[in-house]
């Protein structure tokens, strides 16, 4: 096998196509009758949001590279850029068609059986029609601004992902102009779902779509004209921001200027009602400079994600997941001082099974502790009203040295992060935006405390964001420690981010873009050597995405040498498992469950002396070479045992696991009746028994 070329394109999948397959797995949850009905609806909405982001970023990027005359191959497949785009269109159309089939054939009938109804126009009673007409005249008509289209009124700028209607008219207006076309834009402030009042409802939860109401009474927008056709449409635009960081003097101001352009980037997809006449579709395609393959005709609302409002509007706990209370580890009972606790032991938190409150308390206690001199923290995704931000503000007002590294370029959270930066700067916090050309994706907090005439470091390192809300439905690890070497490493990384100087040698942590990639390659190669020598060799990796080609190549080489490799990859995976003689020792599984799997864990057997790490980094080029990431060793024996227990549980999962096939498709793991194992359900059950 020494002459085997592991760079062959046949050994790799493209990331965009892999992302489509991930969305298929999410969508499949909407058809799973073992899941509560309103949660199935939520999965449908999530799949819709995922598809939006796929078009806004990934497919927009493919189209942009094509327009710029990209190189012959965009990805690792034997496919030209045009072929990749065509295959993406085919697969995306399949997913969208399946979304609406699931909605119309499975979810809407099931919701109706539970007395949750969406009334169509031909089903309205006389009383409902009268009420809706009044609602339209009083609540909608004053807000809507129909735009006639003629040489003096060109096609308007259409906001990204907004609800709009294309209208064909007949007759003459007040100025004698013959009817033609018009566009009606639905302001985002309007609710997309309208609930009937009790007195005209057929049940406890009767709704009508905003689009149906506008359809029904559109002629009131065009007095004296006849509406021949009116059909909803939505356009998706390229939403990736571009800021030339080498040229700008103030990244915050530059990003603020770019945010508005996100709403009006190049069009990449047109969604339109499936009964819209072809001549109107052709007109919209021309206006948005799209092609036929960019059109998605749908049987239902053009934005499925708006259906998510139903989950909150309908008071049916029996149709939702059973609520749970995250576990508060006993060591935190009685309001103990966390820094005193960390002098004795390291602490691991596994969210959402463990409460996020200890992380908040860590910063809260530091903010009011007179012996704490400084707090340093990275923020990637959070909100301006976050309790953590509140305590950082409090610490600054108490005169502590507070430094916060805010990643303004966290995609789709830029505006919220700008608000956080402004709020912190107002109270004197040192706010840094990281390193030009490198996103700061590391999740770390450092507290510096004076104790007996010396300074002591207390650290929190995590795999996820400092966001109390997402900690309720993302699985993430967070480790709290006062380990001297780790504290010094974190301090050095903060110096890198806020100051200037050479790369400092770290004692414990691995860091992108400096040491993490090379360390991973060395550890995989070490497992390969051990296997060749007949020594125990095993690799377990749990990440969100596996894309980086050299790491995949190293995994192939290790597999060929006999290393057992288990990969738990939630989303994109460009590695092909189960190729005879290449990756037949590699299993790839994806866990799609109640919580979004977000932990990053790396395990290397190392001849019976395992290396175990948690990290903020996925195995992607951007994480390893274009971001500041941290990877921290798990050395405490109790914490190691717990994480390895969790990994093995995920490897046994036969309920929420999908097994990747050599052709890139996924097959849901199966189990005998009564022998199902769900890692997430098991971890939730452990909360109840403690």
57-112 residue pLDDT tens: 888 888 877 776 654 444 555 566 778 888 999 999 999 999 999 999 999 999 99
Q: Are 181 and 283 in contact (CB under 8 A)?
A: yes
Q: Which of 272, 298, 319 is the last residue of a domain?
A: 319
Within a domain: 3: no
Task: Name residue 205's beta-bridge partners.
Answer: 116
* Residue 604 and residue 539 share a domain: yes
* Residue 484 and residue 581 share a domain: no
Q: What is the pLDDT of residues 509-549, one digit of tens each?
A: 999 999 999 999 999 999 999 999 999 999 999 999 999 99
Within a domain: 324: no
pLDDT at 2: 58
Strands 205-209 and 193-195, by their bridges, are antiparallel
* Number of domains composing the chain: 3
Phi-psi map region of 214: left, alpha, beta (phi>0 left; psi -120 to 50 alpha): alpha
* Residue 117 and residue 198 share a domain: yes
* Residue 492 and residue 587 share a domain: no
Q: What is the pLDDT of residues 115-141, one digit of tens each?
A: 999 999 999 999 999 999 999 999 999
Helix (H, G, I), strand (E, B) or coil at 628: strand
* Residue 359 and residue 293 share a domain: no
* Residue 178 and residue 234 share a domain: yes
Length of the chain: 690
Tell me the catalytic residues.
441
Tell the burial category of 159 from Cβ atoms under 10 Å away from its Cβ (0-12, 13-18, 19+): middle
DSSP for 633-674?
E---HHHHHHHHHHHHHHHH--SSEEEEPTTS-EEE----TT
Which residues contact residue 170 at a Cβ distance below 8 angstroms, ignoring those fewer than 6 apart? 179, 225, 226, 228
pTM value is: 0.91
Within a domain: 130: yes
Q: How far apart are the C-alpha atoms of 342 and 404, rounded to whole Å?
A: 23
Q: What's the DSSP call for residue 607?
A: T
Q: Phi and psi dihedrals of 39, rounded to 5?
A: -70, -35
* Residue 542 and residue 649 share a domain: yes
Q: What is the CATH number of the domain that holds 177?
A: 3.30.1840.10
pLDDT at 245: 40
The 3-class secondary structure across 93-134, one letter per residue, is HHHHHHHHHHHHHHHHHHHHHCCEEECCHHHCCHHHHHHHHH
* Residue 500 and residue 516 share a domain: no
* Residue 118 and residue 231 share a domain: yes
Q: How far apart are the C-alpha atoms of 177 and 427, rounded to whole Å?
A: 59
pLDDT at 178: 64
Q: Which of 275, 290, 319 is the last residue of a domain?
A: 319
Within a domain: 30: yes
DSSP for 57-93?
IIIHHHHHHHHTT--S-SSSSS--HHHHHHHHHHHHH
DSSP for 521-536?
HHHHHHHHHHHHTT--
* Residue 461 and residue 567 share a domain: no
Q: What's the DSSP call for residue 159?
A: -
pLDDT at 242: 42
* Residue 62 and residue 199 share a domain: yes
Strand order in the sheet with 164-170: 147-149, 181-185, 164-170, 226-237, 267-273, 295-298
Segments of the chain scoring below 70 in pLDDT: 1-2, 68-80, 151-153, 173-179, 240-264, 383-384, 408-414, 673-674, 689-690
Enclosing domain of residue 516 = 512-689
With residue 491 as reference, give the H or E element that holds it. Answer: helix 484-498
Q: Which of 506, 541, 559 is the last residue of a domain?
A: 506
pLDDT at 248: 37
Q: What is the CATH number of the domain that holds 556?
A: 3.30.870.10
């Amino acid at each position: 096998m020494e002459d085997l070329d592991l760079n062959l394109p046949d050994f790799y999948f493209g990331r965009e196509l892999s992302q489509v397959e991930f969305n298929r797995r999410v969508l499949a949850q909407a058809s799973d009758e073992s899941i509560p009905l309103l949660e199935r609806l939520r999965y449908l909405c999530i799949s819709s949001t995922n598809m939006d982001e796929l078009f806004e970023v990934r497919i927009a990027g493919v189209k942009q590279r094509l327009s710029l005359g990209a190189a012959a191959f965009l990805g690792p497949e034997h496919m030209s850029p045009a072929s990749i785009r065509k295959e993406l269109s085919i697969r995306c159309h399949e997913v969208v068609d399946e979304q609406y089939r699931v909605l119309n054939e499975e979810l809407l009938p099931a919701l109706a059986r539970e007395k949750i109804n969406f009334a169509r126009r031909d089903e309205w009673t006389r009383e409902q029609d009268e009420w809706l007409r009044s609602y339209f005249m009083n609540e909608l008509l004053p807000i809507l601004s129909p735009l006639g289209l003629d040489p003096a009124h060109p096609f308007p700028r259409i906001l990204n992902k907004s609800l709009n209607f294309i209208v064909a008219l007949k007759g003459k207006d007040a100025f004698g102009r013959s009817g033609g076309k018009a566009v009606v834009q639905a302001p985002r402030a309007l609710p997309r779902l309208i609930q009937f009042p009790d007195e005209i409802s057929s049940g406890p939860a009767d709704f009508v779509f905003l689009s149906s109401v506008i359809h029904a009474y559109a002629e009131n927008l065009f007095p004296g004209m006849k509406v021949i056709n009116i059909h909803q449409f939505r356009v998706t635009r390229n939403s990736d921001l571009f800021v030339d960081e080498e040229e700008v003097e103030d990244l915050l101001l530059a990003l603020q200027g770019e945010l508005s352009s996100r709403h009006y980037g190049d069009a990449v997809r047109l969604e339109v009602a499936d009964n819209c006449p072809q001549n109107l579709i052709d007109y919209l395609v021309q206006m948005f400079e799209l092609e036929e393959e960019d059109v998605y005709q749908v049987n239902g609302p053009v934005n499925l994600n708006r259906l998510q409002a139903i989950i909150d509007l309908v008071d049916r706990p029996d149709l939702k997941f059973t609520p749970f209370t995250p576990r508060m580890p006993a060591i935190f009972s009685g309001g103990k001082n966390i820094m005193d606790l960390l002098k004795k032991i390291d602490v691991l938190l596994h969210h959402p099974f463990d409460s996020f409150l200890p992380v908040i308390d860590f910063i809260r206690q530091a903010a009011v502790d007179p012996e704490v001199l400084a707090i340093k923290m990275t923020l990637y995704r959070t909100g301006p009203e976050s309790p953590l931000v509140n305590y950082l503000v409090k610490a600054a007002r108490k005169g502590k040295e507070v430094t916060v590294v805010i990643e303004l370029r966290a995609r789709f959270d830029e505006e919220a992060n700008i608000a956080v930066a402004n709020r912190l700067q107002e109270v004197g916090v040192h706010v840094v935006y990281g390193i030009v050309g490198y996103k700061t994706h590391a999740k770390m907090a450092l507290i510096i405390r004076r104790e007996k005439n010396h300074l002591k470091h207390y650290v929190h390192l995590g795999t996820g964001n400092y966001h109390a809300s997402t900690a309720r439905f993302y699985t993430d690890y967070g480790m709290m420690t006062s380990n001297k070497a780790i504290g010094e490493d974190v301090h050095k990384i903060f110096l890198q981010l806020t100051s200037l100087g050479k790369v400092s040698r770290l004692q414990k942590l691995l860091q992108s873009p400096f040491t993490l990639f090379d360390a991973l390659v060395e550890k995989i190669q070490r497992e390969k050597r051990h296997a060749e020598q007949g020594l125990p060799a095993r690799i377990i990796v749990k990440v969100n995405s596996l894309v980086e080609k050299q790491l995949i190549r190293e995994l192939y080489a290790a597999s060929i040498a006999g290393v057992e490799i288990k990969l738990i990859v939630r989303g994109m995976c460009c590695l092909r498992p189960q190729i005879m003689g290449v990756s037949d020792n590699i299993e790839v599984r994806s866990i799609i469950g109640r919580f979004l799997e977000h932990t990053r864990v790396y395990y290397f057997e190392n001849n019976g002396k395992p290396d175990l790490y948690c990290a903020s980094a996925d195995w992607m080029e951007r994480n390893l070479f274009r971001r500041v990431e941290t990877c921290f060793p798990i050395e405490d024996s109790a914490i190691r045992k717990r994480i390895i227990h969790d990994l093995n549980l995920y490897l046994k999962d036969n309920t929420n696991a999908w097994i990747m096939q050599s052709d890139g498709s996924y097959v849901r793991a199966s189990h005998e009746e009564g022998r199902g194992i769900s890692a997430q359900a098991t971890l939730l059950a452990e909360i109840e028994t403690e």
